[in-house]
Amino acid sequence: MKVIKILFLFAAITIFGQTNVENQAAHYNFPKLKSSITMPVTIPLSEISNMINASVKELIYQDDSYTDNNNDQFKVKVWKTRPIRLVGGTNQNLLIEVPLKIWAEKGIGTLGVYSYQNTTFETVMSFNTALTFQNNWTITTNTKPNGFRWVTKPVLDYGRIQIPITSLVKKSLIEQQEKFCKTIDQQMATQLNFQQYAVAAWNVFSNPFNISEEYNTWLKVTPINVNITPLKFYANQIDTGIGINVFSETFTGNKPVSSPLIKSASNFNFVPVLDNQFSLQTTANIPFTEATAIARNMFLNKSYDVRGSTVTIKDIKVYGVDDKVMIEAETEGYVNGKAFISGIPVYDETKKKIVLSKTKFNLRTANILQKTATLLFKGRIVKMIEEEYGIPTEELENSSKKSIEEAFNKEYYKGIKMSGKVFNIKPGDILLNPSGITAVIDTNATLKLLLKGF
């Protein structure tokens, strides 16, 4: 059945992008984050009905012999008049109705001399099917007869003699209804084996996908196990939820190696509810050229009062030294020389900026007398740098949010649409690389797969 097969063919999440060499960050080993991807699943009963109708031919039963069944002198043909109808029950069961048209012919007579008369009538055959979802990815059904409802009763018309044959027809149909139950269960067992689709879905996640072309950042999702909520039956659909517990890993630079493919899916677990939060890390790289431009925009040619005199910043640049950011400011006026302020970059959530902490100061000047002013100058410029300088991250956060939500809100196959929303995003660790500052952005999101319109 199309809906059943498509249920487990998850969208292949592979986005190919070109590397931006200037912004390419160094290689880092990010921690594995345990997350969950959820997929609310709705199975329209019309789809299961289509499967059953496709497997049941129009002519359901035919008895062309007068002499079988102890010479009953009775022939019968049974057709399906309209599509078989399914309705959800209240106890993980389906109520199935099969509308039937029946042609019957009966012989009346003795000593081998019979007069035959036929009739056509209609009835609705009912079944009750209990479904059980096994944790080995199969669904088993147990179908039982649930009686008849006569639309028109069978009567043989011999003119003056009207002969009801309800008992004869009912006996035959009860026998066939028992056989039909087995047919339904066999068809269900064949069609509702999800093992191969579970394998396909699992292996989809073996291939890493690119979540930031600009910073050449890759997300690798490794499934751990699968959880499924109990089936919920409604009048026209069956609902359940599939949750995949995964490890998400972030890589920068070259695309990481894909995970090995599996050949069989492990048993899943039944859980009452699913966790719908998905955690991941992505990165944003701020080149030192950009960090320098920010500093120049803030401080270049600005003058500051020191002990009644002024100090003017004539040039400034930002670069990295080991694990610290170095701000080199060339000054003139009260102090002529170069001031070096180094600090460890950290994220300030209040300011929404990457700022310097644990700053250290060093002054290089040829004037020995100016060195006596170092303490005064140090206090002034260090305070200025700590309070005023910072690399705004709001644009980085918004850009990361946008790129992730774009990747998480696409229809990769017709009828299968990913739906994701980022609800918490902020820089965490701040790392240095030879060309700039790398902000590791921690993200919490919801990620779902929706089945619609297939």
Please report the pLDDT score of residue 7 as a whole number: 28
Q: What is the C-alpha separation between 320 and 286, in angstroms, rounded?
A: 12
Q: What is the C-alpha separation between 114 and 159, in angstroms, rounded?
A: 16
Name the helix (H) or strand (E) containing 411: strand 411-413
Q: With contact defined as beta carbons under 8 Å apart, do 261 and 273 qualify?
A: no
Q: What is the C-alpha separation between 446 and 419, in angstroms, rounded?
A: 8
Please report the pLDDT score of residue 27 as a whole number: 53
Global confidence as pTM:
0.59
DSSP string, 222-278: EEEEEEEPPPEE-SSEEEEEEEEEEEEEEEESSPPPPPPP-SSPPPPEE-SS----E
Please report the pLDDT score of residue 50 as a whole number: 81
Q: What is the C-alpha separation between 367 and 374, in angstroms, rounded?
A: 11
Please report the pLDDT score of residue 316 as a whole number: 92
Q: What is the C-alpha separation between 437 and 454, in angstroms, rounded?
A: 46
End-to-end CA distance of the chain: 12
Per-residue pLDDT of the chain (454 residues; tens, 9 = 90+): 333 332 222 222 222 222 233 334 445 556 677 777 777 777 788 877 887 787 777 887 788 888 777 777 778 888 889 988 889 888 888 899 989 998 888 777 777 777 777 888 899 989 999 988 888 888 889 999 998 888 988 887 777 777 787 877 777 778 878 888 887 888 778 767 777 767 776 777 777 877 777 667 778 888 888 888 888 888 888 888 888 888 877 777 778 888 888 888 888 899 998 877 777 777 777 889 889 998 998 889 988 777 777 888 899 999 999 889 999 999 888 778 888 999 999 999 888 889 999 888 888 876 655 555 566 677 777 888 888 888 888 887 887 788 778 877 877 556 566 778 888 888 888 888 888 888 888 888 887 766 554 4
Please report the pLDDT score of residue 368 as a whole number: 52
Q: What does the block give as tokens for 242?
A: 């599939």
